[in-house]
Amino acid sequence: MNEIHYPIWCWVTFFVVVLLALFVDLGIANRRDHAPSRRETFIWSSVWISLALLFNAFVYGAVTHSHGADMGFFKAKEFLTGYLIELSLSVDNLFVFLLIFGYFKVPKKYQHRVLFWGIMGALGMRMIMIFTGAELVERFHWILYVFGAFLLWTGMKMFGSDDDGFNPEESRLVTFVTRFIRISKHYDGNRFTVIQEGKRTGTLLLLVLIVVELSDVMFAVDSIPAIFGITTDKFIVYTSNIFAILGLRTFFFLLADLADRFHLLKFGLAFILSFIGVKMLLPLAAAGVMKLHDGPVEGGFYLLVQRYLKHEFQQSMVNISLGVVLCALVISVVASLIWPKAAEPES
């Protein structure tokens, strides 16, 4: 019930919508390098969110047409839940991007260009990671339990961590990249490469782009297993993932001035990861309970466990996941506003 066949026109529609939106964004609206205004960021944030919701309606219509309204509604909820999870986890990426841009002193008018090409690279890399993950899950179902344990461990670790998870000054990524790629120590407009002493050399902007790309891969290690906790449907996993990261550039500029105000968001994200990890481990625990049970299953607790293992509560589990994700995000944001971060003492 979790994965269905999508005709090729569904995939074509998705890629046409994404590429057309990116063309309008970079080729028309942001053709000139500039630091977007607050008004621009609000408008484009609304555009990307609306586009994701419209595609959610498309998923409902396409699945309903071939598999009925119940399945269409179920898949639409899977998409929305996956989108919210990926969007919330992607917001955590933005705080790291702030550190990267701040450390390398990237001019604000070039940050949009770096984020755009970073997301273009993510389109391909995440497709590889998602389809590889889906293939592994299909062949070795037990890997879902490995994902679940990893997410639970990551969530618990986030609860006890006070750092942002990335220190450019001590990053091995920077050392690794500069070991294999010639990089100059300055910016040259918005160019990623220049000719120096007759050799093609990367500018500092190229180094920033590579670090952003590799950072996204590291974040995908958390976010992709998280959405597999909701569904293993490759179409839903990939499309919800991509729609979530498409708006990252706009959300980056929207949240850049508000980063400190949402200081409790990381605890909401930690709870989401922990919850999904537990959810992915539940079938293993339920199977263990039934294996230890001696005697016929007639009612009560063991009957519920048996029905759960037969996937009778799949609709309810998606509803619960959607509710938990929404509540965790809202509570962490509201709590951040009610209890603002204490001002750091001046040195």
Q: Encode pLDDT of 138-187 as tens digits.
A: 788 788 888 888 888 888 887 776 555 555 555 666 677 777 778 877 88
Q: List the one residue out of 222, 236, 269, 212 whose CA is nearest residue 92.
A: 269
Per-state percent for the chain, helix, strand, coil, to nearest 5? 75, 5, 20
Return d(Cα 85, Cα 65) in angstroms, integer.
27
Name the stretches of the chain with pLDDT < 70: 1-3, 26-36, 92, 161-174, 255-260, 295, 297-299, 342-347
Residue 16 Cα distances to 27, 255, 271, angstroms? 15, 28, 35
State the CB neighbour count (10 A cutoff) for residue 21. Answer: 16
Q: What is the C-alpha to C-alpha distance for residues 232 and 268, in angstroms, rounded to an integer?
A: 24
| Cα distance between residue 49 and residue 41, in whole Å | 12
Write down the domain spans for the chain. 8-160+221-338
Condensed to tens digits (0 to 9), the pLDDT of residues 42-65 reads 888 888 889 999 999 999 999 998
For residue 36, give every residue at least 6 positions away whose Cβ sits within 8 Å of its Cβ, in sequence order, or none: 30, 44, 112, 250, 253
Which residues are within 8 A (CB) of 82 and not within 5 positions of it... i.e. 6 or more apart? 227, 230, 231, 236, 237, 240, 241
- Cα distance between residue 64 and residue 59, in whole Å: 8
The pLDDT assigned to 51 comes to 92
Rounded to whole angstroms, the Cα distance separating 186 from 110 reads 13
**Residues 154 and 249: beta-carbon distance below 8 Å:** no
Q: What is the pLDDT of residue 141?
A: 79
Evaluated on CA atoms 150, 154, 157, 163, the torsion sign reads positive
